[in-house]
Structure 1
Amino acid sequence: MRRRLIQSTLAVVLVVIAVFGVSLVIVETRTISNSAQERVDSEAIRLAGIVDSRLFAAEDVTGEILRDQVAQERYAVIRIPGKDPIEVGSRLSGQVISSTQRGEEGETVTVQEPRSSVTREVGRTLLIIGLVALLAVIAAVLLAIRQANKLASPLTDLAETAERLGSGDPRPRHKRYGVPELDRVADVLDSSAERIARMLTAERRLAADASHQLRTPLTALSMRLEEITLTDDPDTVKEEANVALTQVERLTDVVERLLTNSRDPRAGNAVTFDLDEVIQQQLAEWRPAYRSAGRAIVSSGKRHLTAVGTPGAVAQVLAALIENSLMHGGGTVALRTRVTGNQAVIEVTDEGPGVPADLGARIFERTISGRNSTGIGLAVARDLAEADGGRLEMLQAQPPVFGLFLSRTPLKSALLDEDEPTVR
C-alpha cells in the first residue's frame, strides 16, 4: 500500500510539472527573446537620435565618437548618404539579433547583438525551473511517504490487533491515529477486545469456581463409597448409600448453581429453610474427615432457626468455611447459631492460629491465601452469600471467627411491608 500511495502521488506531481513546466519554459523563452529584441531596437533608436543631432549641428560623426555609445558586446553600422559606412565594435559571427532604424537626415543605423546572450539567459531560466521542479518532486515524495506511513501504519496496527484477538490475546490497545475512519475501526476493535476479555475472565472464573466447589462434594462422596467398600453390614451399606445419594443430589445442585451464577450472578432461588438441617448435614459429611485428622466438629447455639436463602448455596458456604478450618485451623471446629435483629447468623470458629495480620480484610479476595491453596474458596463463598441477599464477614482474626448473615424475612415481603401505607 505504501508503494502504491507513493507512486500515485509522484505520478500526479510529475504530470503537473510536465504540463505547467513546459508551458512556463515556452513562455519564458519567448519573453526573453522579445526582451532582447526590444533592447536592440531601443539601442538602435537611441544611436540614430545621436547621429541625427550631430548631423543637424554639422558636427562630425566618427567611430571614435560613437564607440562609447554602443555596448561592448554589440556591433553597430551607421550609413550616412555620401559617406563611407561607420562601424562601431567587432563584427559578429553566427546568429544575431538585429535592428535597423532610419534617421531624419536619411542615415540608417543597424545594431546587432549575439543570440548567445539570449541562449545563456534562457539556460539560466531553465536551470531555475528545473531546480524548482526537482524540489517539488522531492517535497512530493517526502509528503507521499509521510501520508503513506500515516495511512498504512494504522492499518498494520489494526491488522496486528485483529490477529492478537484471534490468537486469544484480548488486551485493547487504546491507540488512535487522528483519522476518523481508522479511529472508528480502532474503537470497534477495542470494544470487541474488552468484551472478549470479560468473556474469557468469566469462563476462567467459572472453571476455577467449578473445580473448587465440586472438589468438596466429590471428596465427601468418595469417602462414603470407601465406607461402603470397607463394610459387609447390609444396614451400614444401605445407610452410606443413602448418604451418597444425598451427596449426589447436592453435587447436582452445585453444578446447577454454578451454571446459574455464570449466566446471572444475581439470580437466586431464595426460599425459607431450616438452618438446623443444613448444619446437621454438614456435620455428618465432615465428621469422617475431622475424625481422620484427630479433630472434632461440633455445633451449638440457638436451635430451630429459619432463614431466607438457597439451601444448597448456604451449604456450600459452610462447606468452604469448614474446609478452611480443616486445612488451616486447629483444634475443635464449632458452628454457633444466633440471632441479631432480623438476621440469623452462623459463626464458624476453630482453635487455630487465625488469619495472618498481613492478610486482614484481603482474605476474601481471589488468589489471596495464607498457604498453598487456590485462594478462591472464601471469595466464592462470599459471592454465594451475596447472591441470596446475605453476607459473609470475618468477625475475628485470632482465633478466627467467620459469620454468615442471612435474612429471616423474605425480601419481597419486606419490600411490601415497606411500601404498604400505614393506616391510622
Structure 2
Amino acid sequence: MRRRLINSTLAVVLVVIAVFGVSLVIVETRTITSSAEESVESEALRLASIVDSRLIGGEPINPDILAEQSGTKRYARIEIPGRSPIEIGERPEGGVIEATAFGEENETVTVEVPRTSITDEVGRSLLIIGGVAVIAIIAAILLAVRQGNRLASPLTDLAETAERLGSGDPRPRHRRYGVPELDRVADVLDSSAERIARMLTAERRLAADASHQLRTPLTALSMRLEEISATDDPATVKEEASIALAQVERLTDVVQRLLTNSRDPRTGSAIVFDLDEVVKQQMAEWRSAYRSAGRALVCSGKQGMRAVGTPGAVAQVLAALIENSLMHGGGTVALRTRVTGNQAVIEVTDEGPGVPADLGARIFERSISGRNSTGIGLAVARDLAEADGGRLEMLQQHPPVFALFLSRVPRSRKDSPPTIR
C-alpha cells in the first residue's frame, strides 16, 4: 500500500509538472524572445536619435563617440548618405536578432544581437523551472511516504489486533489514529474484544461453577452406587436406587441452573414450593458426611413454610452453606427456619471460629477463601439466590451465621406460579 501511494502521488505530480512545466517553458521562451526584440528596437531608435542630433548640430560622428554617448555594447551599423558606413562593436556570427531604425537625415541604424544570448537566458529559465520541478517531486515523495506511513502503520496495527483476537487474547488496545475510517475499525475491534472477553469469562466461570457445584452431588451419587454394589438385599437396592435417581434429578437441575445463569443470571424459574422438603432432603444428604467427621447436623425452627423460588437452586444454596460449615467451621451445624415479614429465612450456623475479620466484607467474592479452597461456593450460592429474587447474607461473623431470604408469597395472585407438594 505504501508503494502504491508513493507511485500514484509521484505520477500525479509528474503529470502536473509536465502539463504546467511545458506551458511555462513555451510562455517563458516567447517572453524572453519578445523582450530581446523590443530591447534591440529600442537600442536602434536611441542610436538613430543620437545620430540625428549630431548631424543637425554639425558635430563629428565616429564609432567611439557614438559608443560612449549611447552606452551600447551591441553591434550597430549606421549608414549615412554620402558617408562611409559606421560600425560599433563586433558583428555577431550565426543567427541574430536585428532591428532597423531610420533617422530624420535619411540615415539608417541597424542593431544586431546574437540569438545565443536569448538561448542562454532561456536555458537559465529552464534550469530554474527544472529545479522547482525537482523540489516539487522530492516534496511529493516525502509527503507520499509520510501519508503512506500514516495509513499503513495503523492498518498493520489493526491487523495485529485482529490476529491477537484470533489467537485468544481479547484485551482491547484502545488505540486511535486520527483517521475517521480507521478509528471506526478500531472501535469495532475493541468492542469485539470486550464481547469476546466477556464470553471467555462466562465460559471460564461456567466451567469453574460446574466443577464446584457438581463435585458434591457426584460424590453422593457415587456413594449410593457403592452401597448398591455392596448389598444383595433387594429392598436395600431398591431404596438406594430410588435415592440415586433423586440425586440424578437434582444433578440435572444443577446443570440446568448453571447453564441458565451463565446465559442470563437474572433468569429464574421460581415457583411456590414446600421449604421443609428441601431442608429435609439436605439434612438427609449431609448427615452421613457429618457423622463420618464426628460432628452433628441439626435442624430447628418454624415448620410448614412455603416459599417462592426454585427448589433445586435453594437446595444448592443450602448445600454450599452446609459444605462450607463442614470444611471451615467446627462443632454442631444448625439449620434454623424462621419468618420475618413476608420472607422465609433459613439460617446456617456452626460453633467454629467464624469468618476472619479481613474476609468479612469480601466473603461472597469469587476466589476469596479463608483456606485452601476455590472460593467459588458462596459466590455461586449468592448468584443462585438472587436469580430467583432472594438474597444470601452473612448476618454474623463470630460465630458465623449465614441466612437465605426467600419470598413467602408470589408477587401477583394473577401471575402466581404453580405450587408443588
Q: TM-score, normalised by structure 1?
A: 0.91
The aligned residue for residue 419 of structure 1 is: none
The aligned residue for residue 244 of structure 1 is: 244
What is the deviation of 1:105?
Answer: 0.6
Task: Please show how residues 190-339 of structure 1 align to structure 2 within 5 Å.
Answer: 190-231=190-231, 234-339=234-339
Write the letter of the residue equivalent to 2:155: L
Between the aligned partners of 2:414 and 2:24, the Cα distance in structure 1 is 92
Contact 1:76 1:87 in 2 (8 A): yes
Write the letter of the residue equivalent to 1:384: L
Unaligned ranges ≥5, structure 2: 417-421
Q: Which moved more, 1:358-367 or 1:72-81?
A: 72-81
Write the letter of the residue equivalent to 2:50: I
Q: Which moved more, 1:131-140 or 1:352-361?
A: 352-361
Between the aligned partners of 1:378 and 1:69, the Cα distance in structure 2 is 117
Contact 2:270 2:309 in 1 (8 A): yes
What is the deviation of 1:49?
Answer: 0.2
Between the aligned partners of 2:406 and 2:116, the Cα distance in structure 1 is 110
Write the letter of the residue equivalent to 1:219: T
The aligned residue for residue 109 of structure 2 is: 109
Q: Which moved more, 1:116-125 or 1:245-254?
A: 116-125
**Secondary structure of the structure 1 residue equivalent to 2:357:** coil
The aligned residue for residue 419 of structure 2 is: none
Cα root mean square deviation, aligned? 2.3
* Deviation string, structure 1 residues 356-395 (Cα, Å, up to 9, x no partner): 2222222112222222222221111011111111100011
Between the aligned partners of 2:96 and 2:373, the Cα distance in structure 1 is 106
What is the deviation of 1:233?
Answer: 5.0
Contact 1:70 1:88 in 2 (8 A): no
Q: Which moved more, 1:78-87 or 1:6-15?
A: 78-87
The aligned residue for residue 4 of structure 2 is: 4
What is the deviation of 1:306?
Answer: 2.0
**Secondary structure of the structure 1 residue equivalent to 2:214:** helix
Q: Which moved more, 1:156-165 or 1:225-234?
A: 225-234
Between the aligned partners of 1:292 and 1:230, the Cα distance in structure 2 is 19
Write the letter of the residue equivalent to 2:363: I
Between the aligned partners of 1:292 and 1:249, the Cα distance in structure 2 is 25
Between the aligned partners of 2:349 and 2:250, the Cα distance in structure 1 is 24
Unaligned ranges ≥5, structure 1: 417-424
Task: Please show how residues 69-88 of structure 1 align to structure 2 within 5 Å.
Answer: 69-71=69-71, 73-88=73-88
The aligned residue for residue 374 of structure 1 is: 374
The aligned residue for residue 383 of structure 2 is: 383
Between the aligned partners of 2:379 and 2:106, the Cα distance in structure 1 is 123
Q: How many residues align?
A: 416
The aligned residue for residue 410 of structure 2 is: 410
Between the aligned partners of 2:408 and 2:323, the Cα distance in structure 1 is 26
Q: Which moved more, 1:351-360 or 1:65-74?
A: 65-74
What is the deviation of 1:186?
Answer: 3.5
The aligned residue for residue 27 of structure 2 is: 27
Contact 1:343 1:405 in 2 (8 A): yes
What is the deviation of 1:314?
Answer: 0.5
The aligned residue for residue 422 of structure 1 is: none
Aligned: 1:61 with 2:61: yes
The aligned residue for residue 421 of structure 1 is: none
**Secondary structure of the structure 2 residue equivalent to 1:199:** helix
Between the aligned partners of 1:46 and 1:71, the Cα distance in structure 2 is 10
Between the aligned partners of 2:219 and 2:279, the Cα distance in structure 1 is 18
What is the deviation of 1:97?
Answer: 2.8
Contact 2:46 2:70 in 1 (8 A): no
What is the deviation of 1:72?
Answer: 5.7
What is the deviation of 1:135?
Answer: 1.4
The aligned residue for residue 52 of structure 1 is: 52
What is the deviation of 1:77?
Answer: 2.2
Between the aligned partners of 2:60 and 2:193, the Cα distance in structure 1 is 103
What is the deviation of 1:137?
Answer: 0.9
Contact 2:21 2:129 in 1 (8 A): yes
Task: Please show how residues 73-152 of structure 1 align to structure 2 within 5 Å.
Answer: 73-152=73-152
Between the aligned partners of 1:73 and 1:404, the Cα distance in structure 2 is 118
Between the aligned partners of 2:202 and 2:343, the Cα distance in structure 1 is 31
**Secondary structure of the structure 2 residue equivalent to 1:358:** helix
**Secondary structure of the structure 2 residue equivalent to 1:21:** helix
Write the letter of the residue equivalent to 1:338: R
Contact 1:275 1:306 in 2 (8 A): yes
Contact 1:303 1:337 in 2 (8 A): yes
What is the deviation of 1:149?
Answer: 2.9
Contact 2:342 2:409 in 1 (8 A): yes
**Secondary structure of the structure 1 residue equivalent to 2:169:** coil
Between the aligned partners of 1:43 and 1:72, the Cα distance in structure 2 is 8
The aligned residue for residue 395 of structure 1 is: 395
What is the deviation of 1:94?
Answer: 4.1
Between the aligned partners of 2:284 and 2:152, the Cα distance in structure 1 is 69
Write the letter of the residue equivalent to 2:191: S
Between the aligned partners of 1:96 and 1:371, the Cα distance in structure 2 is 110
What is the deviation of 1:174?
Answer: 3.6
Aligned: 1:158 with 2:162: no
Between the aligned partners of 1:226 and 1:278, the Cα distance in structure 2 is 24
**Secondary structure of the structure 1 residue equivalent to 2:375:** coil
* Deviation string, structure 1 residues 159-180 (Cα, Å, up to 9, x no partner): 3333333333333344344444
Write the letter of the residue equivalent to 1:76: A
Aligned: 1:355 with 2:348: no
Q: TM-score, normalised by structure 2?
A: 0.91
**Secondary structure of the structure 2 residue equivalent to 1:411:** coil
Write the letter of the residue equivalent to 2:14: L
Write the letter of the residue equivalent to 1:213: Q
Contact 1:47 1:69 in 2 (8 A): no
Contact 1:2 1:149 in 2 (8 A): yes
